[in-house]
Amino acid sequence: MSDTEPQHRYTPELAGAIERRWQEHWQEHGTFHAANPSGPWAQSGTADIGDRPKFMLQDMFPYPSGAGLHVGHPLGFIATDVIARYQRMQGRNVLYTLGYDSFGLPAEQYAVQTGQHPRKTTEENIETYIGQLRRLGLSHDDRRAVQTIDPAYYKWTQWIFTRIYDSWYDERAGKARPIADLVAGYESGTVATPSGAHWGDLTAAERAASVDARRLAYKSTAPVNWAPGLGTVVANEEVTNEGLTERGDFPVFRRNLPQWMMRITAYADRLIDDLDRVDWPESVKAIQRNWIGRSQGAAVTFPLAGSADGVEVFTTRPDTIFGATYMVLAPEHALVDTITPDAWPASTDPRWTGGAEDPRTAVAAYRAVASRKSDLERQVDDKAKTGVFTGAYAINPVTGQRVPVFIADYVLMGYGTGAIMAVPAEDPRDWDFAKKFGLPHVRTVQPAEGHDEDTAYTGSGLMINSSNDRISLNGKDVDDAKATIIAFLEEHGSGHGTITYKLRDWLFSRQRYWGEPFPIVYDEDGAAHAIPERLLPVELPEVADYSPKTYDPQDADSMPESPLGRATEWVTVELDLGDGPKTYTRETDTMPNWAGSCWYEIRYTDPANNERFADRECEEYWMGPGRGDGEGVANDPGGVDLYVGGVEHAVLHLLYARFWHKVLFDLGEISSSEPFRKLFNQGYIQAFAFRDARGQVVPANEVVEEGEGPATKYTWNGAPVTREYGKMGKSLKNVVTPDEMCAQYGADTFRVYEMSMGPLDMSRPWETRAVVGSQRFLQRLWRNVIDEETGALRVVDDAPADDLDRLLHRTIDGVRRDFGHLHFHTAIAKLIELNNVLTRTGMAPRSVVEPLVQMTAPLAPHLAEELWRTLGHDETITFVAFPQADPAKLVQETVTCVVQVMGKVRDRIEVSPSIDAAELEQLARDNAKVLESLGDKQIRKIVVRAPKLVNIVAG
RNA sequence: GCCCUCGUAGCCCAAUCGGCAGAGGCAGGCGACUUAAAAUCGCCCGAGUGCGGGUUCGAGUCCCGUCGGGGGCACCA
């Protein structure tokens, strides 16, 4: 076979050789090293920053799993590489690299399974990734490829933690400030202490507590998500809506445990409001807004019957307060103990008591059951409302009616005030509960015509049954009623308008080994102290057993236990924190794996810096507001010019990273107030999987396909199999790797194929047999430049034919536009089209071939470099200016004008592009085919869109 | 249940502002080259846009409804 093959054909073997050669060339020359404005790389690689504009782009850095990459993973990486290369050809200084997120649960679990140290497996996995990716020719600045497990990196992760720890959120200033300012505020009395006491009257411990209460990173005992099967607590964001952990699907229980938290809730408003300043997909903005869940309403206090105390509730429907016929507290609510009497009030409905002799027994029993329920179980018995009467009554502040107070787990402690006023007539959940417990309802909004009388009414309407001797809401619409009643409540001291959020503080502790240690030690009194910068990093110690203590997944009463707690020699440490050497105890929890990814984009700008997490000048150069694509944009927050990644990080990583970024901004450490100015979500490459009659997965690449369309039959070893569509993975036996593709076709072909499959943001199925199309394109391009038999240059210096020249400029114009919109698939189509014309004419003028090679360079860089060199250029094509379209050549000499009668095409005429409407109309009126189809019909109207269309309306 | 997306040829996908439904690729067919096959080259084939309404001179595109795929949220008061 190979004897007959032309010697200089662009075969996979030749492609592979070319690719390796250029990859070495780039490596050797530091071609992709980006210069910084200051520091060691102020002059770098091929150039200094000069007065070139900058462009910073990146992928969401990968978490290297043991399985290596399949063809779906590099999709985003290839896309960003195309953009990076395109931007370089536009003359921009481009910051583009790829680091590794490498602390965290999966690495640890994998290490536990294989009995190896997580560092070893993690580093091996990273090596595998680097090897696989190197083969693709990605133009990363490899000097900037940070790894979160590197102590030189996590030193600064820990340092940022201490900065957050040493900060508080000043609501009046609307930003974070150093903790010293808080102490000064407490001292001067301009900031009230939590207890309201004078600073001077507080003991040292009370003062410390007052400061701790305001820190942005704080330790507290609060209900957290405890997953016994995982042996650690997890953040709210890491619990799926089934109430299972995102990693491993373990049940989650609510437990009160002392844990480190991040006060992300202080930033709720800014995290929502600043979404208006970034260029992100609306869907991701919607997800974040929804997650933060800002809702406007009122806090209303219901006095307790026979007591001076009251219960504060949060409601978004204060207008319905006249219909509040009972109240519900969350089972964990602090007031429950104080309000619950010893005995049931006279004539208590037996349905309310849970069968208990007295309220205290009923409440205790209900609380026990509720606390043992995992989130999953709460989901499962969904609509069935449960609860018990506390024995206490409150007073509806507008009706004066006594209303019974219940506890029920459909009210959550973590939201609002953990207490509600229940309005069965206007809330379906309250309706269900009221129905079950025989509680009354009063309609306060007139339901719309035809409303089912046996349900709550949540629609709009006019208020009814809502008046007392001081106020009447009757006849008002809902919005008007809300405003009126809030004003009334405020006037009478019973309530006020307020805003509540679904977002809760970020649970930052993990009882795991494989994470950043906290830079925190405790003194003999148990008070926490931050480790000063000079003693960072706090390195992760070696331990004999790094696996966490896990439990039966259902064992709700188990307690988390950190692996670092076993490193006894490490835990006890003597330090001088400024007041002489003392013995301290280290924090043994570690940070969640999100910590390292909260600020890596900043580190990319100056990764070799040992003095600072990033030089201020570097951060400002690459990420500052009004720079790069933010130039000329009003209110630009700065940040990475383009960030590409999957939508699955919409709340986790992207919310946390924004939060840290804003804290650093507030503290004056950085100039940008958002980390990622523009976000793009790439789609996924999915794959078909096949199962036999027993439901067993069979290898997808051995399945035979016959027939077309709905009649297609799939067989494996002659037996019919069924097809399904889903993720690529080992268990589905449908994995295709980039390594296979590079071996079979070459990296350039693989890159072009991935980019040509469809729009980047859409998911699509992988189809190996279609890859050959991309190979044919590159092969034809090669053949247009180089004689396959002799290896000689085939290009001629003749001027191209006029129509070829025009096509070239249309192509340049279109490709530029497509690259700008990340529409690589249409750009490739245009390049193929131009190349096919060259193939067909059999003659390749240099003035067409060179721009074609240049335009192909971002997509198939190795091939382009090789052809560029063959064309006689010594320099890398990397920085050669991208072709410019000549506007004069974009203007067509003639345009085909469509002549329609009643919207139907009747004729096409060639006209000048500059033809005026009147002239075109006349041409259409006189057109023979038009006259024919018009017959004797009257012309009613003529729509002229010169020069492309005329539509004659007749009747 | 609510929200967001996508439905165009056998398959993957194009179609600026509403203006000729087709740029490109795969598969398929025919031909050239070949002893033959593969590869290569040339030519060809193909849908009225999931379905039903509406707006408009004109709808794949806008609006309403509906069905199907994918994703997010869900006792959040």
pLDDT tens, residue by residue, A630-679: 999 889 999 999 999 988 888 889 999 999 999 999 999 999 999 999 99
The position carrying tokens 């002659």 is A718
Q: What is the pLDDT of residue A731?
A: 79
pLDDT at A247 over 80: no
Contacts of A579 (CB under 8 A, 6+ apart): none
Longest CA span, chain A: 107
Instruction: Evaluate whether A737 touches A71 at the Cβ level (below 8 Å).
Output: yes
Rg value, chain A, Cα: 34
Instruction: Evaluate whether A131 touches A138 at the Cβ level (below 8 Å).
Output: no
Prediction ipTM score: 0.94
Q: Is the CB of A775 under 7 A from strand B?
A: yes
pLDDT at A904 over 90: no
pLDDT at A299 over 90: yes
Digit-coded pLDDT (tens) for A72-102: 899 999 999 999 999 999 999 999 999 999 9
Share of chain A above pLDDT 70, in %: 97
Q: What value does the mean pLDDT of chain A take?
A: 89
Distance CA A943 to C1' B29 in A: 43
Q: Note the strand B nucleotides within 7 A of protein beta carbons.
A: 3-6, 10-16, 19-21, 23-27, 36-38, 40-43, 57-59, 69-77
- Window A300-329, strand B contacts by Cβ < 7 Å: 313-317
Q: Is the CB of A720 under 7 A from strand B?
A: no
Distance CA A780 to C1' B40 in A: 10
Helix segments in A61-117, DSSP class H: 74-89, 105-114
Going by pLDDT thresholds of 50, 70 and 90, the confidence category of residue A2 is: very low
Q: What is the CA angle A214-A218-A222, rounded to 5? A: 105
Distance CA A205 to C1' B73 in A: 43
Instruction: Evaluate whether A773 touches A757 at the Cβ level (below 8 Å).
Output: no
Length of chain A: 955
For residues A448 and A459, what is the distance between their CA atoms, to the nearest angstrom? 8
The position carrying tokens 């809730």 is A265
Beta-ladder partners of A260: A219
Going by pLDDT thresholds of 50, 70 and 90, the confidence category of residue A47 is: low
For residues A914 and A897, what is the distance between their CA atoms, to the nearest angstrom? 12
* Range in A234-248, A573-587, A638-652, A683-697 with the lowest mean pLDDT: A234-248
Residue A948, nucleotide of least CA–C1' distance: B19
Closest CA to the C1' of B37: that residue is A1
Task: Kindly give the pairing relationship between strand A47-48 and strand A43-44.
Answer: antiparallel
Closest CA to the C1' of B3: that residue is A286
> What residue type is A924 in one-letter code?
A
Higher per-residue confidence, A328 vs A368: A328
Q: Is the CB of A760 under 7 A from strand B?
A: no
Share of chain A above pLDDT 90, in %: 57
Residue A375, nucleotide of least CA–C1' distance: B75
- Of the CA atoms within 13 Å of residue A257, those in its CB half-sphere come to 24
Instruction: Evaluate whether A627 touches A169 at the Cβ level (below 8 Å).
Output: no
For the record, the structure tokens of A531 come out as 């480790």
pLDDT at A3 over 60: no
Distance CA A923 to C1' B63 in A: 35
Average of pLDDT values for A498-527? Answer: 91
Of A399, A431, A427, A429, which Cα lies nearest the Cα of A321? A399
Digit-coded pLDDT (tens) for A805-837: 999 999 999 999 999 999 999 999 999 999 999
Digit-coded pLDDT (tens) for A544-563: 887 777 888 888 788 888 88
pLDDT at A44 over 70: no
Distance CA A51 to C1' B52 in A: 60
For residues A275 and A878, what is the distance between their CA atoms, to the nearest angstrom? 35
- Of the CA atoms within 13 Å of residue A486, those in its CB half-sphere come to 19
Going by pLDDT thresholds of 50, 70 and 90, the confidence category of residue A115 is: confident
- Window A778-817, strand B contacts by Cβ < 7 Å: 779-780, 783, 817
Higher per-residue confidence, A105 vs A56: A56
Distance CA A654 to C1' B58 in A: 45
Buried b (16+ CB within 10 A) or exposed e, A448-478: eeeeeeeebbeeebebbebeeeebebeebeb
Q: Is the CB of A196 under 7 A from strand B?
A: no
Count Cβ atoms within 10 A of the Cβ of residue A565 and give its class: 0-12 exposed, 13-18 middle, 19 or more buried.
middle
SS3 of residue A409 by DSSP? coil
Digit-coded pLDDT (tens) for A144-181: 999 999 999 999 999 999 999 999 999 999 999 999 99
Distance CA A288 to C1' B14 in A: 33
- Window A530-559, strand B contacts by Cβ < 7 Å: none
Distance CA A708 to C1' B32 in A: 29
Distance CA A762 to C1' B7 in A: 13
Q: Is the CB of A122 under 7 A from strand B?
A: no
Q: What is the CA angle A834-A837-A843, rounded to 5? A: 115
Q: What is the CA angle A366-A368-A374, rounded to 5? A: 105
Digit-coded pLDDT (tens) for A716-760: 888 888 887 777 888 788 889 999 999 999 999 999 999 998 888
Distance CA A587 to C1' B53 in A: 66
For the record, the structure tokens of A420 come out as 């509600």
Instruction: Evaluate whether A442 touches A454 at the Cβ level (below 8 Å).
Output: no
Q: What is the pLDDT of residue A383?
A: 62
Average of pLDDT values for A867-884? Answer: 95
Average of pLDDT values for A461-479? Answer: 91
Digit-coded pLDDT (tens) for A175-225: 999 999 999 999 999 999 998 899 999 998 899 999 999 999 999 887 788
Rounded to a whole number of angstroms, the distance between the first and last alpha carbons of chain A is 69
Q: What is the pLDDT of residue A572?
A: 94
Distance CA A234 to C1' B3 in A: 26
Task: Provide the phi-psi class of A564: left if phi over 0, else alpha when psi is between -120 and 50, else beta.
Answer: alpha
Digit-coded pLDDT (tens) for A250-295: 888 878 888 999 999 999 999 999 998 999 988 888 888 888 988 8
Residue A942, nucleotide of least CA–C1' distance: B57
Q: What is the CA angle A458-A459-A460, rounded to 5? A: 130
Cα distances (angstroms) measured from residue A74 to each of A52, A101, A130, A817: 29, 16, 12, 24
Q: Is the CB of A837 under 7 A from strand B?
A: no
Higher per-residue confidence, A381 vs A323: A323
Q: What is the pLDDT of residue A428?
A: 87
- Window A892-951, strand B contacts by Cβ < 7 Å: 896, 898, 900, 902-903, 905, 908, 941, 943, 945, 948-949, 951
Buried b (16+ CB within 10 A) or exposed e, A883-920: bebeeebeeeeebebbbbbeeeebbebebeeebeeeeb
Q: Is the CB of A954 under 7 A from strand B?
A: no
Digit-coded pLDDT (tens) for A776-787: 999 999 999 998
* Range in A600-604, A796-800, A892-896, A943-947 with the lowest mean pLDDT: A892-896
For residues A650 and A640, what is the distance between their CA atoms, to the nearest angstrom? 16
Average of pLDDT values for A52-58? Answer: 94
Q: Is the CB of A625 under 7 A from strand B?
A: no
Going by pLDDT thresholds of 50, 70 and 90, the confidence category of residue A708 is: low
Distance CA A831 to C1' B32 in A: 26
Q: What is the pLDDT of residue A414?
A: 80
